Structure 1
Amino acid sequence: MTVYERFEQVVVITLSGVMSMVIVISLIQLIRHVFTLLVMDALNPLDHKVFQLVFGATMTLLIAMEFKHSIVRVALRRDSIIQVKTVILIGLIALARKFVILDPEASPGKIAALAGATLALGATYWLLRERDDRAAETSEHDPSSSQ
């Protein structure tokens, strides 16, 4: 490995460790909140505030885990850099989280902006996937690529 590749590995391992700590602390906070709600007998998933708290925290954990997974892929040298599709998927998960925790009195403009961002990221992801699918088909049918 070159000096830069070693540096990249150190950065990736450090980021992975930091994300692991964030995930563990967030999980402990989520468990503590849910346990407190259970003990106080206030865990009513039909209550919008409780729903926002529990599912917002759960989706935040999912976002952090997906981000850490993409970092680990780099550390294991499966990918040389963070893939654009992964970043777009993380963005889509973050937008889904935003919709879940959105205040019921949110302005129509805010909802339209979030919907537009979701549509743009979804379309971008679809275009990237189509490109990758076509590249995979081309490499399957190309006799020079198989040995």
Structure 2
Amino acid sequence: MSIKQELREARERLGLLSLYQRFEYVVVMFLTALIAVIVVAALWTLTLKILFGLVLAGGFDPSDYSAFQAAFGMILTVIIALEFKKTLLVVAEHRDTVVQIRSVVMIALLAICRKVIILDLTETDALHILSLAAAIVALGVIYWLIDRRDPAEEELA
């Protein structure tokens, strides 16, 4: 599909919406554009840090755990931003005014997993680790409960 056709279809869909729905659509699209800029900037920074900071400078040691922590932390940051952007686009395309709880839980799980990956266990107390574990378990149970929902209920929602 060409860009002209997509713009024409978007304009037609926008014409069918109420004033407040148009406002929501514009806000969601603006936020999506901002997140896209953030993702591009984060990806550029990640590329520069990995290529120039680690590989070309000779500072990349495969046995160094902190290098992997930093790299995976940056990669997960980009993935979290992409998931957030995708969630906003789903809201815009399906005219849902409520963000799906499954997406919110998934983003929260990704964020906590990122925190666990970049966590320095030598400087973290047990209560902090326990609280992160409890949050992961709670979000996992919520995600599991959402997935177990009756398919008939999903059609009504």
Q: Match for residue 49 of structure 1?
A: 66
Q: Match for residue 115 of structure 1?
A: 133
Shift in Å, 1:78: 5.8
After TM superposition, what 4+ stretches of structure 1 lie above 3 angstroms from structure 2?
137-140
CA shift digits 1:71-99 (9 cap, x unpaired): 01112126432111100010001111111
Gaps of 5+ in 1: none
Shift in Å, 1:103: 0.2
Residues of 1 paired with 2:90 and 2:18: CA distance?
A: 19
Q: Match for residue 63 of structure 1?
A: 80
- Give yes or no for the alignment of 1:126 onto 2:144: yes
Amino acid at match of 2:90: R
Q: Match for residue 32 of structure 2?
A: 16
Gaps of 5+ in 2: 1-16
Equivalent residue for 1:98, pick from 93, 108, 115 = 115
- Match of 2:148, SS state, is helix
TM-score by length of 2: 0.82
- Match of 2:99, SS state, is coil
Identity %: 36
Q: Match for residue 44 of structure 2?
A: 28
* Greater Cα offset, 56-65 or 122-131: 122-131
Shift in Å, 1:46: 2.4
**RMSD (Å), alpha carbons:** 1.8
- Match of 1:103, SS state, is coil
Residues of 1 paired with 2:108 and 2:88: CA distance?
A: 15
TM-score by length of 1: 0.87
Residues of 2 paired with 1:138 and 1:15: CA distance?
A: 30
